[in-house]
Amino acid sequence: MSTDPAQPTDLDQRYGRTRTRGRNERLILIISAAVFAVVLVAWVVWAGLDGSKPMVEARDVAHTILDDQTVRVDYEVSMPAGEQASCAVQALNEDFTVVGWKIVDIPASDRYTRAFTETLRTSLPANTGLIFRCWLT
């Protein structure tokens, strides 16, 4: 058996505990950490800083059941001035099944928030009416 600490022992050679292996593992760890950091920074830039698109916000104000086949939905839409949008208005029954649906075009305006009322025809009696989603067109 060798007494020189720089020389690996028989057990070190048998079980793969060599200086070269430790350096290789450390190098692999450093490269993996660097790749992870690059991917994380790229994701943050892509997902977090891409807020340049104007947003449309819609808020349900009220709904009125007029009869078994008609629902009136009152809602507000907030969007940048001069932009056009479309909104999907829907009526739901007690099982949350869509029983009425209508796409409404919102014209451009110089006001940020505006109120609208839409009347929907339904295929079955509804118990609510609301905005599903709005988007810029």
What stretch of H or E contains 67? strand 57-67
Burial zone of 117 (CB within 10 Å; 0-12 exposed, 13-18 middle, 19+ buried) = exposed
| pTM for this prediction | 0.62
Question: Could you tell me what percent of the chain has a pLDDT over 70?
Answer: 83
A 10 A CB-CB count for 132 gives: 14
Q: For residue 122, is pLDDT > 80?
A: yes
Q: For residue 76, is pLDDT > 80?
A: yes
Most confident among 47-51, 80-84, 86-90 (mean pLDDT): 86-90
The stretch 108-132 carries a mean pLDDT of: 95
Give the pLDDT score at 17. 65
Under CATH, what is the fold of the domain 57-136? Answer: Immunoglobulin-like (2.60.40)
What would the pLDDT profile of 53-70 be if each residue is shown by its tens digit?
Answer: 668 999 999 999 999 999
The stretch 81-89 carries a mean pLDDT of: 94
- Those residues whose C-beta lies under 8 Å from the C-beta of residue 111, and which sit 6 or more positions away, are 81
Give the pLDDT score at 119. 96
* DSSP assignments along 88-132, one per residue: EEEEE-TT--EEEEEEEEE---S-SEEEEEEEEE-SS--SEEEEE
pLDDT band of residue 6 (cuts 50, 70, 90) is low
Q: Is the dihedral of CA 43, 48, 52, 57 positive or negative?
A: positive
- Those residues whose C-beta lies under 8 Å from the C-beta of residue 119, and which sit 6 or more positions away, are 66, 70, 71, 72, 73
Give the pLDDT score at 43. 87
Q: For residue 22, is pLDDT > 60?
A: yes
- State the residue for tokens 């450390």: 26
Give the pLDDT score at 36. 97
Rounded to whole angstroms, the Cα distance separating 125 from 131 reads 18
Q: For residue 15, is pLDDT > 90?
A: no
| Domain-wise residue ranges, the chain | 10-48, 57-136
